[in-house]
Amino acid sequence: MRESKGARGLSQNNGYKHVHDEIPSNIPILTSTTHSPPTIPIAPLEIRHAVFAELIRLSPAAKYRTELVTGPSGLYARGLAHQHARTFGALPPTRDARAALARTLNTYVRRIFPDYSKLYGAGVIGIPGFWQEPSGKVHLWKLHNYKMPILVIPYKNAHGLIQACQIRLHQADIPEGEKKYRWLSSPSDRRGTGSGTPIHFTFSPTTLRAGETVVITEGALKAETFVHHRPKARVIATSGVSCSHDQIIEVTQPYNALIAFDADHRINPTVSRQLASLIAKRFEDSIEHNLTTTTRILFWEGPKGIDEAAQQNVRLQTKTISEWYETLTNEPRQEVDRFWSEISFYP
């Protein structure tokens, strides 16, 4: 997906496609007799929001003050304030404690949404991150004991309702080569469901006039941190640089856009390509819908993320697409050139 050399074109998410059509005869072809359990349809938004909001109320980050709030990688280290310790949630480190929380939330749904509970015999079925054993016992996240509690980050829609949640594992619990952030999701677990990749709003579009400016960044925690330091900013976040481009394009049509992906795009050709993809898609969408809104890049020196830049009061600059392109060198620039030439895009 990331390596362009020898690729046979682009996939739908703009990764490179490689076809391996020569299989040596001495390598056995294995077939699996196991099947993933069927995924349960995702619950209605109203129910998801209620369950995730109750989860955060019962188990806020503040419950694990040293680990998630005041510690070296806690919320306060980002410059966040006291109230944020209760707007983010926490999963207990032990599977038994998470199962107890799942039971409490299951009872909550049965009481608040009795008709929905009757569909599956358990209220939390259909909520991403929850699943159920054949015995009927419900679980939240994995059957694994962690060393540290897990931060829960809500992803809110344009009306402030929680669609899904991401989680952030502590460094001590991240296997080598795996990611810190992941969705609170359970598509591969019995009677579990996936979360999708929704985008996060820090504001309500109903209160923002067409022609105003929004910032596009990666990660809801980063977006909320940036808004805390820059209260006038209106930010929309994807879950990652390659995710949800079509959603972003659609919701930002009325607005001028400042794209604020991490500064490592200047040295990481994969991130550069995804930024180039978003630029191209937004430009093409503007032409298709005869829009006059602009797309620029937020640029800063030093910190990796826009949240860190804001916290450190680093000067933020806006650059046109041409000005941004001129800042690229070596492989990132080559990757952008290669990608734009393949889709015949010329800004």
**pLDDT tens, residue by residue, 61-113:** 999 999 999 999 999 999 999 999 999 999 999 999 999 999 999 999 999 99
Question: Using one digit for the tens of pLDDT, what is the confidence trace for 292-329?
Answer: 999 999 999 999 999 999 999 999 999 999 999 999 99
How many C-beta atoms lie closer than 10 Å to residue 63's C-beta?
Answer: 16
The structure tokens listed for 182 are 């992941």
- Please, are residues 67 and 149 in contact by the beta-carbon 8 Å criterion? yes
Cβ partners under 8 Å of residue 114, min gap 6 = none
Give CATH 3.90.980.10 domain extents, the chain: 45-183
pLDDT confidence tier of residue 30, bands split at 50, 70 and 90: very low
d(CA 29, CA 151): 41
Q: Residue 5: what pLDDT?
A: 53
Kindly provide the b/e burial profile for residues 191-215, where b requires at least 16 CB atoms within 10 angstroms of the residue's own CB: bbbbbbbbbbbbbebeeeeeeebbb
Question: Using one digit for the tens of pLDDT, what is the confidence trace for 163-202?
Answer: 999 999 999 999 888 999 999 999 999 999 999 999 999 9
In this structure, what are the phi and psi dihedrals at residue 139, rounded to the nearest 5 degrees?
A: -130, 160
pTM of the model: 0.88
Cα–Cα nearest to 10, from 343, 281, 244, 283: 343
Least confident stretch, 10-24, 74-88, 137-151, 169-183: 10-24
d(CA 60, CA 319): 39
Domain covering 45-183 in this structure, CATH number: 3.90.980.10
Give CATH 3.40.1360 domain extents, the chain: 200-342
H/E segment holding residue 45: helix 45-58
Kindly provide the b/e burial profile for residues 52-61, where b requires at least 16 CB atoms within 10 angstroms of the residue's own CB: bebbbeebbb
Domain covering 200-342 in this structure, CATH number: 3.40.1360
pLDDT confidence tier of residue 115, bands split at 50, 70 and 90: very high
Q: Residue 195: what pLDDT?
A: 97
How many C-beta atoms lie closer than 10 Å to residue 329's C-beta?
Answer: 10
Q: Residue 238: what pLDDT?
A: 96
For residue 133, the one-letter residue type is E
